[in-house]
Amino acid sequence: MIRPPGADQRFIGAYRLQKTDEFSSVFAFRRALKGRWLIVHYRPNELDTARLGVVVAKRFARQASQRSLVKRIVREQFRRRRATLPAFDLVVRLNAPIVGATRAMINDDMAQLLDRLQGRSEK
């Protein structure tokens, strides 16, 4: 299968925030978009692509399977849309208990936040 340039949809190490300092600098920038369950902290980076970090607290998702599900959903949305996102470092954080939330609801929440983030870069 031949993909057009810029259609790389992998989630390799270059697209991840890995160090504590990287997470801290995003939180220190103090810009965020809040959704129903998720909040996206962001700051511009000097790279040509967006990078992602995910934080899911036990306080909001008690079971490991729930925390893993949220992380998988966030990573999948990011992976699919990374090429269209601005060059920001993003930290997505679970901000409310996910009791009663379905996969589709969390997926929609993340998609709406990424849409709003794209709007921020065009201003």
Give per-residue pLDDT as tens, 71-112. Answer: 999 999 999 998 889 999 999 999 999 998 999 999 999 999
Rounded CA-CA distance 48/96 in Å is 32
Strands 51-55 and 38-44: unpaired
Q: Is residue 73 part of a domain?
A: yes
Q: Is residue 6 part of a domain?
A: no
Q: Is residue 4 part of a domain?
A: no
> If 0-12 CB within 10 Å is exposed, 13-18 middle and 19+ buried, where does residue 119 land?
exposed
Q: Is residue 96 part of a domain?
A: yes
Give pLDDT, residue 51. 94
Read off φ and ψ for residue 37, nearest 5 degrees. Answer: -115, -25
Mean pLDDT of the chain: 88
The count of structural domains within the chain is: 1
Q: How many residues does the chain have?
A: 123
Question: pTM of the prediction?
Answer: 0.86
Task: Look up residue 85 and give its two tokens.
Answer: 């996102």
Nearest to 32 by CA among 82, 92, 83, 86: 92
AA letter at 20: T
Tens-digit pLDDT profile for residues 19-74: 999 999 999 999 999 999 999 999 999 988 899 999 999 999 999 999 999 999 99
113: domain CATH number is 3.30.230.10
Read off φ and ψ for residue 97, nearest 5 degrees. Answer: -60, 140
Rounded CA-CA distance 71/97 in Å is 14
Q: Is residue 93 part of a domain?
A: yes
Confidence of residue 2 (pLDDT cuts 50, 70, 90): very low
